[in-house]
Amino acid sequence: MSITKEIEIARIEVVGGWNVQVATDTVIKENGTEISRSRHRHLLNPDSNISNEATEVQSVANAVWTDDLRAKYNTWKESQGL
């Protein structure tokens, strides 16, 4: 009997104009047959450290987070007192 655990990127979305939302599925398999799946979501902002994210996530974030968008995000954060 072999039990494995895999993490799969289920979805990468741009939400709210500058946030990148990542949905990952944790898949548990027994002898190659899926027996469990759970989903986790996390949100990345233009000032997030993405160095530990999957290559696909980094590619999307880097495409979306232009210098102009980062400046707008920083202005918004300052206006909110963050």
What single-letter DSSP state applies at residue 9?
Answer: E
DSSP state of 81: T
Number of domains in the chain: 1
Question: What string of pLDDT tens digits covers the 82 residues of the chain?
Answer: 899 999 999 999 999 989 999 999 999 999 999 999 999 999 999 999 999 999 999 999 999 999 999 999 999 999 998 8
Give the pTM. Answer: 0.84
What is the span of the domain harbouring residue 50? 3-80
Q: What is d(CA 25, CA 21) in angstroms, rounded to the nearest whole number? A: 13
